[in-house]
Amino acid sequence: MADRKSFLLRVDREVLDAVQRWANDDLRSLNGQIEFLLRRALRDAARAPKAGPAVSHHANDEASASAGDLSSPPVSDSESS
């Protein structure tokens, strides 16, 4: 497992509450959700670390990643026409 480092993060209460709700929806811890979002942002910006495989803390992460872009919601049939 990768070396973990703790640090203090100051964030607006409304942002934290929104990320907590998202984490709950995805069945992740708040910490896991923040790490997921940071990893996705690094990947999308082509700045992801090169060493070692990405660590997934959620069963659906691997399936979602192999299915395509994680940042776009699924498109329904009525929207795709």
Q: Which is it for the CA torsion 63, 67, 73, 77, positive or negative?
A: negative
Residue 42 CA, distance from chain mean position: 10
Split into its structural domains, the chain has a count of 1
In a domain? residue 32? yes
Largest CA distance in the chain: 47
- SS3 category, 44: helix
For residue range 27-70, list pLDDT tens digits in order: 999 999 999 999 999 999 999 988 665 555 555 554 444 444 44
Q: What is the model's pLDDT at position 47?
A: 95
In a domain? residue 7? no
In a domain? residue 80? no
Structural domain of residue 24, as residue ranges?
12-45
